[in-house]
Structure 1
């Protein structure tokens, strides 16, 4: 497993925990640093900061293009995977678009339901198609 793949998994854990506890993702990171000897990969921080800073816009895109699936009906894990994937796809030029989608699909295969990988792939692929107009 690559360092970036591990960073994505850690970011998902942090964002998931923050959402479940209705807490700040940054408070979750701080708690992890204080309570464990776990080091936080810089890319994990980039992902968490990016998703948090762009979450309102990302959620609007996800809500608009997820046919028949409002954000609140999506499983929490899927919602967070989609946020991470959308941030990498739309706002992180260091990650090729197809890699962002592929990594999100792999997270869904590992951590979510049987239907989730195709849902994540379909929605992120749609955002990829619309990327020029979404960022205009």
Structure 2
């Protein structure tokens, strides 16, 4: 398993825990990192993902809701919504990672940690966002 995959898994575990407790504080992050020390190779991406998602969560959630038919963020499973947040964050804010890579990684994480329907659900939303971004249309997506 590559270091980026491990960093994504660790970030997903922390974000899931924060989501479950409703606590997005630095203290939660410190507790997690104390118990599950991220590896040296993964720490930079782990930190970037977690802090970026926390900083931009409102924009990420609005974007996800715009492309999910009848699925509001609170109604989504915790794994699905955090996987989606991570992938959309990568698509918007990490230009060195191709959108298709972010989408494939998100689908794999959703299949591994979510329900049997999570992979398809995540794929549908992320592919719609990717297609919209490729057309260059303005007006729906927030500018990051």
**Both proteins in one fold, TM over 0.5:** yes
1:93-124 superposed Cα distances (whole Å, 9 cap, x missing partner): 01111000000000011001111101101100
Compute the displacement of 1:32 (Å).
2.8
Contact conserved, 2:59 with 2:142, CA < 8 A, in 1? no
Look up the SS of the partner of 1:39 in the other structure.
coil
Question: Counterparts in 2 of 1:1-136, with a 5 A limit?
Answer: 1-34=1-34, 36=35, 38-39=37-38, 41-131=43-133, 132=136, 133=138, 134=141
Q: 1:123 to 1:37 in 2, by over 3 A?
A: closer
- Between Structure 1 and Structure 2, the one with more helix by share is 1
Following the alignment from structure 1 to structure 2, what is the Cα–Cα distance between the partners of residues 13 and 107? 11
Contact conserved, 1:85 with 1:100, CA < 8 A, in 2? yes
Compute the displacement of 1:39 (Å).
3.2
Following the alignment from structure 2 to structure 1, what is the Cα–Cα distance between the partners of residues 50 and 90? 11
Contact conserved, 1:14 with 1:25, CA < 8 A, in 2? no
Task: Structure 2 unaligned segments of length 5 or more: list them.
Answer: none
Q: For the aligned residues, what is the CA RMSD? A: 1.6
Contact conserved, 2:10 with 2:38, CA < 8 A, in 1? no
Look up the SS of the partner of 1:94 in the other structure.
coil
Following the alignment from structure 1 to structure 2, what is the Cα–Cα distance between the partners of residues 75 and 85? 16
Following the alignment from structure 2 to structure 1, what is the Cα–Cα distance between the partners of residues 61 and 87? 12
Q: 1:10 to 1:37 in 2, by over 3 A?
A: closer
Task: Structure 1 unaligned segments of length 5 or more: list them.
Answer: none
Look up the SS of the partner of 1:69 in the other structure.
coil
Compute the displacement of 1:2 (Å).
0.6
Contact conserved, 2:73 with 2:81, CA < 8 A, in 1? yes
